[in-house]
Amino acid sequence: MKIKLTVNGLLYERECAEHRTLLRFLREDLGLTGTKEGCGMGECGACTVILNGHAVNSCMVLAAEIDGATIRTIEGEANGPSLSDIQLAFEKNNAVQCGFCTPGMVMSVKELLAENAKPSADEVKEAIEGNFCRCTGYTQIVEAVMDLTGRPEEKGELDHV
Amino acid sequence: MPMLYEFRYLAPKSVAELTATLREHASDGKILAGGTDLIPNIRNGLQKPGFVIDIKKYDGADRISYGADGLSMGPAVTINDLLRFKDARDRYPVLCSCAHELASHQIRNRATVAGNVVNASPCSDMAPALLCLDAQAVLRSGNGERVIPFSSFFTGVKKTVLQPGEFLERILVPAASAGVTGRYLKLKRIAGHDLGIVGVLMTKRDGEIRFGVSSAAPTPVLVDTVTTKDSPDEAAAKVLASVSPISDVRGTKEYREHMIGVYARRLLAEVR
Amino acid sequence: MFDDIKTGDLTWVGHETGRADLIEKLTGEATFVSDMELPGMLHTQLKKSPYARARIKGIDVSKAESMPGVRAIVTGDELDYHIGLYIVDKYILAKGEVRHYGEAVAAVAAETLEQARAAAEAIVVDYEPLPPVLHHMEALKPDAPLVHPDLGSYSYVEAVFSPKAGTNIANHMKVRKGDVEKAFAESEYIVEREYSCPSVQHVPMETHVAIAQWGKGDRVTIWTSAQSPFTVRNLFCHAFKLPHSNVRVQVPYVGGGFGGKAGIGIEPLCAVLSRKAGGKPVKFQASREEEFSLLPCRSALTYRIKTGVSAEGKIMAQHMSMYWDAGAYADYAVNVTRASGYSAAGPYEIPNAWVDAYTIYTNKPYGTAYRGFGHVEFHWAVERHMELVANAIGIDPVEFRLKNALKPGSRTLTGEEILPSTGNVVKCIEEAARRIRYGSITPEEEARQKKTGWKIGKGIAALHKAPAIPSFTATAVVLKMNEDGSVLVNLALTDYGQGTYTSVRQIIAERLGFPIDKIKVAFESDTDRDPYDWQTVASKGLVLSGNAAILAADDLLEKAYAVAAEALHANPRDLANDGDKVYIKHHPDKSVRFAAMAVGLALPNGNGIGGPLIGVGRYIAQGLTNLNKETGEGRPALDWTYGAHGIVAEVNEETGEYRVLKIASIFDVGRAINPDLVRGQAIGGMMQGLGTAVCEGYIYDENGRLLNPSFTDNKIPTAKDLPLEVECAVVETPQIDGPYGARGVAEQSMISVAPALGNAIQKATGAQLTHMPMRSEDVWRTLQNKEPIDNWITKSPVGSCRSAPEARRRDE
Ligand SMILES: Cc1cc2nc3c(=O)[nH]c(=O)nc-3n(C[C@@H](O)[C@@H](O)[C@H](O)COP(=O)(O)OP(=O)(O)OC[C@H]3O[C@@H](n4cnc5c(N)ncnc54)[C@H](O)[C@@H]3O)c2cc1C
Ligand code: FES
Ligand code: FES
């Protein structure tokens, strides 16, 4: 069937199998491979995108059911050539290691900040509990968000004994 | 990269069209709401419907409202729609605290309340609240409508009274249940999102105590025999008499029983 | 090298600098193998065994072959390639017999994934199920079925390993130090306990994935999500008897590895499919379920320790028996056994020691390297044991640790002498204890206990680990100067998030005296273009590649200075540089720019001198030896990184639920080249250690079927599982032969988190946990003295708290 989607402000029209997930549609049909797959079961959040304003697991959404929708993915996050505030905060706070969870993580943070400009650390943790990260241990991700929203005092340091 | 098994996608645009489609595909069709149960099942080959029938596309499917009848939720109302609805938060705090315990934020953005109960998993987090709040399921098919209280909705593991061709059109939580307070204790393996090892909800209205228990029997369980006069031990005994947990990878029957007892005692002690 | 320069005198080393790889990762531009799509590429799906052990009587692919889109089907029958890292015991696809649940028996490459799946489902395999041997202790019994009846005929690395033909023992490693029997006889106390842990998964967020293209003339190109491109190439060439120049392995961004991608994996399978499909590129990506059961995991362990202690609390003798569950194939498990064997006592001095460490085949998914390389598992045992021994003899566990800790002058199990520069475990333990206020309950904690009714306990656990590497492990770094005087760095060590490239970049900038943004480390490793590196494992990356980087920088400068000396008519000794140009120290106005020399300097008359500036640095591990096979004597350790964790936990005694309130992690890293990255490794490893401690583990049924091969029932920690407070600190006792004094810390962070938690739980409640993970039910059962739940292999117990407290006084 024919699917029309606005992704990161651009309109895409594609012929697409009815059982295709949004994740595969983005990655394989539109070539937007920034969004990752970690499980295909809704558990890990690597596939998180923003669908009509809300963060969802794109591995559990059919492309067919969101004809006409507006999607934001990691590819639309930077402001032209420069990084967005969220990206800059992640960069500054060493919130990325292998980077595989990062696109989904950034999307979850984006929805959180759209709804809650000054989240507490607990609210940040709750917003990203559906995004597994095996590398960072999450602390520097939480610190990045706190830093961005004006509570850099939450940042920890490596102490020298 | 895993993929889904093939199916055709249908999106009826009215209730009449939906009932007709459901009748036509009574044997080879599956309703799609948030898809958080259905899509993994199709991916894993546990279900291979020929037709997936999207229930979200008719006008009003996503309506959530509060009125004289109480809280009404259409089949496309997600867990987060519920949590974002002020009347629900103000009047049905119990429903919202159970909803909050369900899965992760992303899942809650998609998973529907209706799908959660129709899926009828013993570990459903919404069922204990709906049971304790006397909620009703409004079911519709080509033959018309019937209203079933959730206390007689679940018939077994992943089984309900829904007939082929029938769908859950609305969940009604009566106005009389507004203001009921309570607390839901859910034991998990990690602090993050997880299915419950056991879940115990206790509600209180005008001195009446109820327990709703998940992951403790083939269906979610309602216990309405406990009174405020009961000691915590008596309450726990009554709750335990109504459940029959099993041993599985999440925990043993013995531990589940122990924890249900602990939670029942703890919850009752808090209100006494 | 340069270990004695103070961090304050250094510009880049020891300071935070931006990471080199973040923009790509933050924008989704970083390309992982899972993102790659080549023209004409085929997709793979597998037929896998539902049995733990079965004879393959026949495979019928006739229906599958004629299905739409199918381009190649391979089965084990038609392949005769043995693969193996240390013991060559594995086929590409099961042949004759399947040895574990989830093992691949046939593979299909087709135009689309859907077509491949349909064809794989249409393959019919006729099995004769055989009784599996599931538990590694059962596998030791004389009448146990043999997982590899032909073990005696396999080739293996004979200098290092000792498989036992006719048994399930893939390796037996021994340490014999001093006179154990005599020392036990003289001991005041003897405490003997047994500890265990199940298999777990690494869970890289990107599952294993590879693309292979078998071109005409047997030229093979492989793109893979792997840690060690040269090892993939080497083992691949051995298996297929191809010249190394025919095979090219490329590794772009990698979505996590943790040891699970250290060796060779699915690459040969993709390659044989591609060959059969006429040279089309073939991709296979494991599903999350396959990641759990097809690909390797971490070995389970049973560890029995008997300790003799003097009246003063000094350890006199220790007898250690380690039983490692290799699963169906030996892979890295034999070397895990070896490395664990020589480190088996933890960071303590054991004057009389006896270690028997066995690697045991069973019919389960096979074990491999996993962050810590055995040390996470056996430190669980050792550090719980230290606690229980201290309790049994009535001395404070931290005092007991400090009394027995390795100190300058101590000798390790293999006889190596500890020097002042080796590192300082005492300081790590003391600092961890100080940070959690070990030994006391603060007024706030007291108030919290009153309010919650949960008991607070504090525990410490120490750790040590050396890189487990061949004695001659080597690497190289090449620096190439660009036309503008900036520098491109090539190395085949992979950076899949640890940040090694960032640190190497700092080291090079420091040594060259260049601004850091003039240095670029090329992402993507490529065996055709990069200099050799053995493997990205063992926390040796920064140490070996950092040293090679220093030497490469020196080499580059030497070459540049030679050109400059000629151009400036100066002696190279009198030259210096400011990052942009080389000048004469006593005539700073006389200079020549690097940019002018980068690809050859043109003299004013047009003559050219020099040529493209390239610096090469090679480094090989120094002074390591093989271990004596009978006594374990020798020098296995490039360096020892010491550390300790302190944990404050609160426990509900009625339910077994607990929370980690605080963790303090201290490591002697020699020098923190980049403090932010050290902290990233420390916290990331700590959380992975908590996962192992709290919830992770494979659960099998009695037939060897894995019951929890997905995130639904194999949870990993989320952001909500973070301890309330997380502190990390470093001790810096410089490693004389480390780059600027540094040692590795990537694995160490994960080690001993579990026993620190176990010790804290015990302090709070008295629960003597000896099995990890410690699920709330396990804690509850232990407190209730109930039989452990034995669902790691249902009905075949490996549960918690199984061993009796067997402490006794000598004269009793
Ligand atoms: C990662 C993950 C974590 C989860 N964690 C939890 C948890 O903690 N607690 C919990 O309770 N659940 C959990 N779940 C399950 C939960 O997401 C679902 O039960 C959800 O609420 C189902 O709603 P849905 O709209 O997604 O249903 P769908 O998947 O769309 O449908 C579920 C089933 O109900 C049928 N159906 C749906 N709507 C109707 C209707 N109106 N009438 C008739 N039939 C209908 C469908 O045909 C299907 O069989 C989790 C799921 C995932 C993937
Ligand atoms: S890939 Fe979608 S949640 Fe894991
Ligand atoms: S950075 Fe590797 S999974 Fe998060």
Contact assessment for residue C238 and residue C177, using Cβ atoms and an 8 Å cutoff? no
Q: Angle between the C425-435 and C397-404 helix axes, to the nearest 10 degrees?
A: 160
- Is domain B64-177 annotated with CATH 3.30.465.10? yes
CATH of the domain at A111: 1.10.150.120
**Per-residue DSSP letters for B79-138?**
HHHHHH-HHHHHH-HHHHHHHHTSS-HHHHTT-BHHHHHHHT-TT-SHHHHHHHTT-EEE
Counting from 1 in the atom list of ligand 1, the atom nearest the Cα of A60 is 53
- Residue A22 CA: which ligand is closest? 2
Query: CA B263, CA B253: separation in Å to the nearest integer?
Result: 15
Condensed to tens digits (0 to 9), the pLDDT of residues C584-637 reads 999 999 999 999 999 999 999 999 999 999 999 999 999 999 999 999 999 999
Condensed to tens digits (0 to 9), the pLDDT of residues A51-79 reads 999 999 999 999 999 999 999 999 999 98
Looking at the complex, does the CB of residue B192 fall below 8 Å from at least one CB of chain A?
A: yes
- The C-alpha of A19 sits at a distance from chain C's nearest C-alpha, in angstroms, of 11
How many other C-beta atoms can be found within 10 angstroms of the C-beta atom of residue C8?
Answer: 7
Taking chain A, what is the end-to-end CA distance rounded to the nearest angstrom? 64
Kindly indicate whether the ipTM for this predicted assembly is greater than 0.90, answering yes or no. yes
pLDDT higher than threshold 60 for residue B114: yes
Binary contact (A65, B40; C-beta < 8 A): no
Query: Which residue type does C443 have?
Result: P
**Cβ burial, residue C589 (10 Å; 0-12/13-18/19+):** exposed
- Please tell me whether residues A136 and A90 are part of one structural domain: yes
| Secondary structure string (H, E, C) spanning C284-314 | EECCHHHHHHCCCEECEEEEEEEEEECCCCC
Nearest in space to B135 (alpha carbons), one of B123, B158, B152 = B152
Side by side, the strands of the sheet bearing C54-60 are: C97-98, C54-60, C124-129
The reply to whether omega before A103 is within 30° of 0 (cis) is no
- Residue A57 CA: which ligand is closest? 2
| Residues with a CB atom less than 6 Å from ligand 2 | A 37-47, 57, 59
How many other C-beta atoms can be found within 10 angstroms of the C-beta atom of residue C53?
Answer: 27
Contact assessment for residue B187 and residue C776, using Cβ atoms and an 8 Å cutoff? yes
Superfamily of domain C33-132+208-285: Aldehyde oxidase/xanthine dehydrogenase, a/b hammerhead (3.90.1170.50)
- Give all chains having 3 or more CB-to-CB distances under 8 Å with chain B: A, C
How many residues can be counted in chain B? Answer: 272
pLDDT score for C785: 83
Read off the DSSP letter of residue B251: B
pLDDT higher than threshold 50 for residue A111: yes
3-state secondary structure of A59: helix
Out of A33, A35, A47, A62, mutate this one to test ligand 2's pocket (max ligand atoms within 8 Å of CB): namely A47
Domains B64-177 and B181-271 share a fold: no
* CATH number, span C473-620: 3.30.365.10
Mean pLDDT of C672-700: 96
CATH of the domain at A36: 3.10.20.30
Tell me the pLDDT band of C21, cut-offs 50, 70 and 90.
confident
Mean pLDDT of C244-250: 98
Does residue A32 lie within any of the structural domains? yes
- Residue A95 CA: which ligand is closest? 3
Q: What are phi and psi of C25, to 5 degrees?
A: -75, -30
Dihedral Cα C225, C228, C232, C234, nearest 10 deg: 160
pLDDT score for A128: 98
Q: What is the mean pLDDT of chain B?
A: 96
| Rounded percentage of chain C residues whose pLDDT exceeds 70 | 97
Q: How many CB pairs below 8 Å do chains A and B form together? A: 91
Q: What residues in chain B have their Cβ under 8 A from chain C's Cβ atoms?
A: 1-3, 6, 187, 189-195, 197, 247, 249-252, 254-255, 258-259, 262
Looking at the complex, does the CB of residue C686 fall below 8 Å from at least one CB of chain A?
A: yes
pLDDT score for C790: 55
H helix runs in C312-405, sequence order: 333-343, 375-393, 397-404
- Please tell me whether residues A94 and A131 are part of one structural domain: yes
Contact assessment for residue B115 and residue B33, using Cβ atoms and an 8 Å cutoff? yes
Parse chain C into domains and list their residue ranges. Answer: 33-132+208-285, 300-469+625-794, 473-620
Counts of helices then strands in chain B (DSSP H, E): 10, 14
> Which of A76, A103, A118 is the endpoint of a domain?
A76
Which carries the bigger pLDDT value, residue C797 or residue B225?
A: B225
Among C25, C204, C683, whose Cβ lies nearest the Cβ of A139?
Answer: C683
Condensed to tens digits (0 to 9), the pLDDT of residues B186-216 reads 999 999 999 999 999 999 998 899 999 999 9
Tell me the pLDDT band of C802, cut-offs 50, 70 and 90.
very low
pLDDT score for B272: 74
Range of the domain at A17: 2-76
| Rounded percentage of chain A residues whose pLDDT exceeds 90 | 93
Out of A41, A102, A129, A131, mutate this one to test ligand 2's pocket (max ligand atoms within 8 Å of CB): namely A41
pLDDT score for C407: 97
pLDDT score for C801: 27
Does residue A159 lie within any of the structural domains? no
pLDDT higher than threshold 70 for residue A101: yes
Query: Which residue type does A109 have?
Result: V
How many other C-beta atoms can be found within 10 angstroms of the C-beta atom of residue B238?
Answer: 18
- Ligand 3, atom 2, residue with closest C-alpha: A98
- Ligand 1, atom 14, residue with closest C-alpha: B103
Condensed to tens digits (0 to 9), the pLDDT of residues C703-731 reads 899 989 999 999 999 999 999 999 999 99
H helix runs in A6-69, sequence order: 22-24
Enter the tokens of residue B126: 């919404």
- The C-alpha of C286 sits at a distance from chain B's nearest C-alpha, in angstroms, of 7
The response to whether residue C185 sits with its C-beta less than 6 Å from ligand 3 reads no
Enter the tokens of residue A145: 């968000």
- Please tell me whether residues A100 and A142 are part of one structural domain: yes
Ligand 2 geometric centre to CA of A133 (Å): 12
- How many domains in chain A? 2
| Rounded percentage of chain B residues whose pLDDT exceeds 70 | 99
H helix runs in B2-56, sequence order: 15-24, 38-43
Mean pLDDT of C330-342: 96
Tell me the pLDDT band of C810, cut-offs 50, 70 and 90.
very low
Does residue A158 lie within any of the structural domains? no
Looking at the complex, does the CB of residue B174 fall below 8 Å from at least one CB of chain A?
A: no
Looking at the complex, does the CB of residue B40 fall below 8 Å from at least one CB of chain A?
A: yes
Out of A102, A128, A142, mutate this one to test ligand 3's pocket (max ligand atoms within 8 Å of CB): namely A102
H/E stretch holding C593: strand C587-593
Ligand 3 geometric centre to CA of C698 (Å): 22
CATH class of this structure's domain B181-271: alpha beta
pLDDT score for B247: 87
Binary contact (A34, C718; C-beta < 8 A): no
Whether the pTM exceeds 0.80: the reply is yes
- Please tell me whether residues A57 and A24 are part of one structural domain: yes
Test mutation, C48, C655, C707, chain B, max B CBs within 10 A: C655
Condensed to tens digits (0 to 9), the pLDDT of residues C783-799 reads 998 776 655 554 432 32
- Ligand 1, atom 50, residue with closest C-alpha: B103
- The C-alpha of A68 sits at a distance from chain C's nearest C-alpha, in angstroms, of 24
Query: CA C357, CA C378: separation in Å to the nearest integer?
Result: 11
Does residue A52 lie within any of the structural domains? yes
- Please tell me whether residues A91 and A71 are part of one structural domain: no
Residues of B in contact with C789 (CB under 8 A): 252, 255
**Per-residue DSSP letters for C659-690?**
EEEEEEEEEE-SS-SSHHHHHHHHHHHHHHHH
> Which of A76, A95, A118 is the endpoint of a domain?
A76
- Please tell me whether residues A68 and A89 are part of one structural domain: no
pLDDT higher than threshold 90 for residue B48: yes
**Per-residue DSSP letters for C90-122?**
EESS-BSEE-STT-EEEEEEESSHHHHHHHHHH
- The C-alpha of C463 sits at a distance from chain B's nearest C-alpha, in angstroms, of 26
Q: How many CB pairs below 8 Å do chains A and C form together? A: 198
Condensed to tens digits (0 to 9), the pLDDT of residues C353-391 reads 999 999 999 999 999 999 999 999 999 999 999 999 999
Query: Which residue type does C398 have?
Result: V
- Please tell me whether residues A107 and A54 are part of one structural domain: no
pLDDT score for B1: 59
Ligand 2 geometric centre to CA of B41 (Å): 14
- Is domain C300-469+625-794 annotated with CATH 3.40.630.30? no
Contact assessment for residue B153 and residue B134, using Cβ atoms and an 8 Å cutoff? no
Domains C300-469+625-794 and C473-620 share a fold: yes
pLDDT score for C552: 98
Residues of A in contact with B9 (CB under 8 A): 1, 18-19, 62, 64-65
Contact assessment for residue A73 and residue A35, using Cβ atoms and an 8 Å cutoff? yes
- Is domain B8-54 annotated with CATH 3.30.43.10? yes
Query: CA C773, CA C758: separation in Å to the nearest integer?
Result: 10
pLDDT score for A151: 80
Tell me the pLDDT band of A144, cut-offs 50, 70 and 90.
very high
3-state secondary structure of C199: coil
Residues of C in contact with B249 (CB under 8 A): 699, 707-708, 713, 791
Parse chain B into domains and list their residue ranges. Answer: 8-54, 64-177, 181-271
**Cβ burial, residue A48 (10 Å; 0-12/13-18/19+):** buried
Looking at the complex, does the CB of residue A28 fall below 8 Å from at least one CB of chain C?
A: yes
Test mutation, C22, C645, C666, chain A, max A CBs within 10 A: C22
Query: Which residue type does C89 have?
Result: D
- The C-alpha of B200 sits at a distance from chain C's nearest C-alpha, in angstroms, of 14
Ligand 1 geometric centre to CA of B72 (Å): 18
Does residue A48 lie within any of the structural domains? yes
Residues of A in contact with C27 (CB under 8 A): 34, 74-75, 77-78, 83, 87
Chain B residue whose CA is closest to A40: B2
Binary contact (A129, B192; C-beta < 8 A): yes
The response to whether residue C497 sits with its C-beta less than 6 Å from ligand 3 reads yes
